[in-house]
Amino acid sequence: MFYGNVDKDTPVLTEFPEPMVARYIRIYPQTWNGSLCLRLEVLGCPLSTVSSYYTQQNEVTSTDNLDFRHHSYKDMRQLMKVVNEECPTITRIYNIGKSSRGLKIYAMEISDNPGEHETGEPEFRYTAGLHGNEVLGRELLLLLMQFLCKEYQDGNPRVRSLVTETRIHLVPSLNPDGYELAREAGSELGNWALGHWTEEGYDLFENFPDLASPLWAAEERKLVPHKFPNHHITIPEHYLVEDATVAVETRAVMAWMEKNPFVLGANLQGGEKLVSYPFDTARPRSETPAAPPRPPDDYEDENPELQETPDHAIFRWLAISYASAHLTMTETFRGGCHTQDMTDAMGIVQGAKWHPRAGTMNDFSYLHTNCLELSIYLGCDKFPHESELQQEWENNKESLLTFMEQVHRGIKGLVTDQQGEPIANATIVVGGINHNVKTASGGDYWRILNPGEYRVSARAEGYNPSVKTCSVFYDIGATQCNFVLSRSNWKRIREIMALNGNRPI
């Protein structure tokens, strides 16, 4: 129990008797002796206990010999090969496509069954190097590959659990052409933008189709979700033509996203120190008379509307899971790299509030696939000196692991017919959240959710929908929530009605 303020204008500082690490649980209003107040519940542990625990769990011993240096394209490829040779049963190297200069965009898969999607097992991705001059993410993913391989071999239970229960994909360099250009100048002589764009001049992060604008236009016309979907929105045709202003790297990433049933992902960038979540696109002020009135704003003509996603609460949870585990991201005295701290010392911000832009990788992933994607900005220095890499690994190591573990939060399950056959592309609808997901080819699905009780339904063409209540708990580990759908007669009824001119029979 801590004493609070007796009046709203007098703040009271109450300190723990020893340094603590605490995770936010919930805050809600209640009454105390007839007065309104707020009750905050947190779960805390002494800092010394937490530090020693994570040191014990994730200690990098002298035998680990992680490679703390900058890696050229050739060096990166060689390091990935070495990791694969050291851990051949849990790793696989593949490429998702080529850059405009013909360099392969390599990926490392880490799983207990590499090369295959296991039914019921979620898929996770980390990508880095969208901007070739932002190199810390590239090196962190190369270090993460080594760490997971070595710790798995050493029997680290946390790492073994991650590897056996998750299919992990790590892509250290989405823009290898840009990196080679930035690397030629080096960390001391490179300028702020050298290597930022692809060889053809594209900014990969914001080179994706803008799907938010057509969604919001459909919402204004009351078409969502019955006539216009709130998920898996179709890519506009003009974006798919051969001469569209789309980078070859972007096309490769999009095809990779569509091929694998990713559930959660993050792209590692630089130039700031925060975690950004969708929407990145700013919604234009509505001109539709039917739209709800908004409070007057002196800058209404200049400022677009900040539109939250239907999954705003879970995006904040995911962002906080990384920022709070980072050793310096939530330091209150730090401020921003260029202006004021846009995160209010929390280390997280919605993209449209901080840096609004359309057609980002995060918005596309959310609106076209099942995957929740965030951007992690690792620091002000885009190309840190080699001597700083070991400290940056320590700053980010726990965050990288914690964020991956969030893929196991929420609900998961199988959707089958009455004969037990899986139903692909069935729609999973969570009551109160206007954003759906679809089942994978094996009928399995995953839906990241915050703790709570949810009314969930499964629907598929030609089947009667099924509804049930699913509970999500605070502990990591998704709740199993399976559905069995029975065949519907509506398809046959529609066929008969069509033969009779759609007249009632």
| pLDDT for position 63 | 41
Q: Which amino acid is at 171?
A: V
Averaged confidence pLDDT in the chain: 87
| pLDDT for position 489 | 83
Q: Is there a contact between 94 and 255 (Cβ–Cβ < 8 Å)?
A: no
| CATH superfamily, region 411-491 | Carboxypeptidase-like, regulatory domain (2.60.40.1120)
Whether pLDDT at 106 is above 90? yes
**Better-predicted residue by pLDDT, 346 or 146:** 146
Question: Which tens digit of pLDDT belongs to each residue from 123-144?
Answer: 999 999 999 999 999 999 999 9
CATH topology of domain 73-285+306-408: Aminopeptidase (3.40.630)
List the beta bridge partners of residue 31: 36
Q: Cite the DSSP H helix spans in 383-501.
A: 389-405, 490-499
| pLDDT for position 421 | 98
Torsion of CA 271, 203, 95, 237, to 10 degrees: 140
| pLDDT for position 500 | 77
How large a percentage of the chain has pLDDT more than 90?
Answer: 72
Cα–Cα dist 173/104, whole Å: 10
DSSP state of 357: -
Query: What is the CB neighbour count within 10 angstroms for residue 483?
Result: 24
| pLDDT for position 46 | 66
Question: Which tens digit of pLDDT belongs to each residue from 66-79?
Answer: 999 999 999 999 99
Question: Which tens digit of pLDDT belongs to each residue from 454-492?
Answer: 999 999 999 999 999 999 999 989 999 999 999 998 766
| pLDDT for position 373 | 99
- What does the block give as tokens for 382? 């885009």
Longest dimension (CA), the chain: 80
Asked whether the domain spanning 411-491 has the same topology as the one spanning 73-285+306-408, the reply is no
- Range name among 177-181, 328-332, 384-388, 428-432 with the lowest pLDDT average: 328-332
Q: What is the residue extent of each domain of the chain?
A: 1-59, 73-285+306-408, 411-491
DSSP, collapsed to helix, strand or coil, labels residue 156 as: coil
Question: Which tens digit of pLDDT belongs to each residue from 246-283?
Answer: 999 999 999 999 999 999 999 999 999 999 999 999 99
Question: Which tens digit of pLDDT belongs to each residue from 204-234?
Answer: 999 999 999 999 999 999 999 999 999 999 9
pTM score: 0.84
